[in-house]
Chain A
Amino acid sequence: MTATDLQEWLKSVSATGWEWSETNGWVSASQLRRAPALGHLFAYLLASNFIVPMQAPAALRADA
C-alpha cells in the first residue's frame, strides 16, 4: 500500500495509533507499528510469522 493511500484510508476509517516508515513511497507490514497494547499483538504476529510481510520490488516506486 502506498503511504499516501494508507494515510487517506486511516483518516476515512478514523483509525488512530498507527505509525509507519516507507520505502519508495510504499509501506509494508514490517514498517507498520501500532501503539500498545494492540501494538504488542501486532509485533508478536509479525515475529512469529503469522503475518509475513511482502516487500515491494526495489524498482517499483509509488509515484511511478
Chain B
Amino acid sequence: MPSAEKLDTHHKALTLNLDTTTFGSFAEIGAGQEVARWFLVVGGASGTVAKTISAYDKEVSDDLYGSGSRYVSKQRLEAMLDNEWAQLLTQLEKTRGSRTRFFSFVDTVSARNFAGTNDPHGWIGLRFQSQPGGPPNDVLLHVNMLDPANILQQEAIGILGVNLIYAAFYELQTKESFLEGVAQDVVKDRIEIDYIDLRGPAFETWDRRTLLAYLVSAGFAEAVFFPSKGPAVAPTEALYKKAVVLAPGYFGHVDAAHAQVHARLLASATQELRNELGETNSAPAGFFCLTAASFTPNEPAPEIPDLLRRIDALLASGGDVLLFRQRELYHMTALVNRYTTAPVRFVVGLSLIIRAFEDLTAISKAAVWRPSGASSHKTCAYTLIP
C-alpha cells in the first residue's frame, strides 16, 4: 500500500514494485530507458516489470509500431500504446488478469542533441487498469524539456514517468492531486507539460478544457492551445514554422457583437500579414491570447471558469486561442519564437498602445517594441480599428 506521506521517486518506484497488483510494460524511445531504469534499480522489479523495450532504430520502430507517422508525435505514441497493450494482455491476461492491474508505459522523446540545435520535447503515455480486468484508461502528455544537457533531460523524463505511473494508481482522488503527483520534483523547473489528454472511466468526470487551463494556471506550462475546430493539440503543432499574428487582450465581453469585433480584429491583422509576406509563403496563423495571470499586479489571478467563459466566446467566433501563463507580451513572443522563425505580429487596440506608453516599465521590457534582431522586423505591432 502507498504511504500517505509525499514520497520521492525512489520510494514511488519501490512502492509500485512491492504492490502485487500492478504489472506492466515499458517502451521508451529517445531519452534512454530512464523510467524503466528506476523500477529495475530500486529492488523488487519482478513485481512490476513485465518487459522493457527501446525500439531506437527507425526501421525497428516502424516494424513494431507501423510507419507513416513522425517518430516524436502523438500518432506514434498512440501506436506504441496500442501495440504494447495488446501484447501485454495477449501474453499475461489469462494467467494473472484476475488479480493484476495492468499498465503500459510508453514515451517517444527528442532530447537535446549534441549540437543543441533541436527542440527538446516528447510525448508520454500510460494505459492502465484501475481494477483487475477493468477497462483501460489512457493518459497522454506532451512535454518540453528545459534542462540544458541531454543527461539531465533523460533524468527528468525518468522522474516524470515514475510520477505518472504512481499518480495513476494512487493519486486519482482529484485532478489536482493527480497533476501535482505527476509534476512532483520535476515540472516547472525541468519539464513543462503543455498538453494533456485523458480517456477512460477513471477520468470521465474530469473536464479536459479545465485540465488544460489548470496546466497554465498551476505553472506547469507557459501556454496551452485551444483550437476552434478539431481536438486540442500542443502549442508546438499550432505554431511550428508559422508566421503568426497574436491578439492579446482580456476579452471580457462575450456577447455576439463583441465576438464579431474580435473576429474582425484578428482576421484583418492576419490578412495584413498575408499581404506583407506575399502569396509565396504559407498562410499566417492568428491567435487570440489570454493570460492566466492577473490583469493588473494588484488583482487576483482569474479563476479557471472565468478563463473558460472568455475562451469559449472566442472559440465560438471561429478564432483559435492561446492561454499564456504570464501577461507580458515579451513572454508571449518568447514562447512563439521557440517554434517559429517566421514573422510574429501583435494586433492591438490604441488603448493598449497608449497603456504601454504610459507605463515606462512596460516599454523598457516589452520585446514587442525592440525584439532582438530588430532590424529584421520579426516582431512588430499592428494597431487596428475594430
Q: Which residues of A line the B interface, CB within 8 A?
A: 1, 6, 9-10, 13, 15, 18, 26-29, 32, 34, 38, 41-42, 45, 49-56, 60
Contacts and interface: CB of A to CB of B under 8 A. Distances in A.
A32 B356 CA distance: 14
A28 B380 CA distance: 16
A60 B264 CA distance: 13
A63 to B, nearest CB: 14
B284 to A, nearest CB: 14
Interface string B341-383: 0000101011101110110000100000110001001001111
B158 to A, nearest CB: 45
B386 interface: yes
Nearest to A18: B354
A44 to B, nearest CB: 10
Contacts of A60: 385
B382 A54 contact: yes
Nearest to B380: A50
Main SS of the interface on chain A? mixed
Contacts of A49: 377, 380
Interface in B218-274: 268-269, 272
A54 B385 contact: yes
A54 B268 contact: yes
Contacts of B358: 13, 15
15 contacts: A15-B354, A18-B354, A27-B350, A27-B385, A34-B357, A38-B357, A41-B357, A45-B369, A50-B370, A50-B377, A50-B380, A51-B353, A52-B383, A54-B268, A54-B383
Residue among B351, B353, B374, B385 facing the most chain A CB atoms (10 A cut-off) = B385
B385 A55 contact: yes
Contacts of A54: 268-269, 272, 347, 382-385
Given A26-B385, A41-B357, A51-B353, 7 more contacts: A1-B349, A13-B355, A28-B383, A29-B350, A32-B353, A50-B381, A54-B382
Contact of A56 (B354, B377, B385): B385
A29 B383 contact: yes
A54 to B, nearest CB: 4
A10 B351 CA distance: 8
A9 B357 contact: no
B357 A42 contact: yes
Given A1-B351, A29-B353, A34-B357, A50 B385 contact: no
Contacts of B355: 13
A49 B350 CA distance: 16
Residue among B349, B357, B380 facing the most chain A CB atoms (10 A cut-off) = B357
A42 B380 CA distance: 13
A38 B355 CA distance: 12
Given A1-B386, A38-B357, A45-B369, A51 B351 contact: no
- 6 nearest CB pairs, A to B: A29-B383, A56-B385, A54-B384, A1-B350, A50-B380, A26-B385
B67 to A, nearest CB: 45
B123 to A, nearest CB: 38
A9 B386 CA distance: 15
Nearest to B371: A50
Contacts of A51: 353, 380-383
Contacts of B384: 54
